[in-house]
């Protein structure tokens, strides 16, 4: 039988990290790259786009550093993005007409205490 592709150590660390983001909060690719001591936010996106545990692992709670929505399920536009938006909205996180996070204080910074 077909065995799915193995989750790499790096991906596992990314998933563990994003799992720390609470419901109703979001973080950024850049913030995660710092927390994981990786110097490439894009590498974080690479791992998240291949997340085999979505939405168990909340990869939809990761947005861009400029507070815009970012991508989802391998897409940067289209229906999947709509899904990401509705998932976040159902958790109380919203974006304005310019596509930016309405309440920046909802950003979750690793290592910061509330």
Partner DNA sequence: ATGATGATTGGGG
Partner DNA sequence: CCCCAATCATCAT
Radius of gyration of the chain (CA): 14
Q: Of the listed 35, 41, 48, 59, which one is catalytic?
A: 59
Q: Which is nearer to DNA, 25 or 60 (CB)?
A: 60
CA–CA gap between residue 110 and residue 85 (Å, rounded)? 22
CA distance 87 to 72: 11
Structure tokens at 91: 């958790």
Instruction: State yes or no: is 59 an active-site residue.
Output: yes
The first and second tokens of residue 105, run together, are: 């204080």
Minimum CB separation from DNA for residue 69, in Å? 9
Please report, as ranges, the residues that interact with DNA according to CB under 7 A. Answer: 5, 8-11, 28-30, 38-51, 54, 59-60, 62, 64-66, 70-76
Q: In whole angstroms, how close is the CB of 11 to DNA at the nearest point?
A: 4
Active site residues: 59
């Amino acid at each position: 039988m077909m065995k799915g592709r193995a989750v790499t150590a790096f991906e596992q660390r990314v998933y563990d990290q994003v799992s720390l983001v609470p419901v109703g909060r979001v973080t950024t690719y850049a913030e995660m790259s710092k927390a994981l001591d990786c110097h490439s936010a894009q590498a974080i996106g690479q791992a998240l786009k291949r997340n085999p545990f979505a939405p168990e692992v909340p990869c939809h709670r990761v947005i861009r550093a400029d507070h815009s929505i970012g991508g989802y399920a391998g897409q940067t536009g289209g229906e999947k993005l709509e899904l990401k938006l509705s998932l976040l909205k159902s958790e109380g996180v919203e974006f304005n007409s310019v596509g930016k996070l309405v309440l920046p204080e909802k950003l979750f910074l690793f290592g910061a205490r509330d």
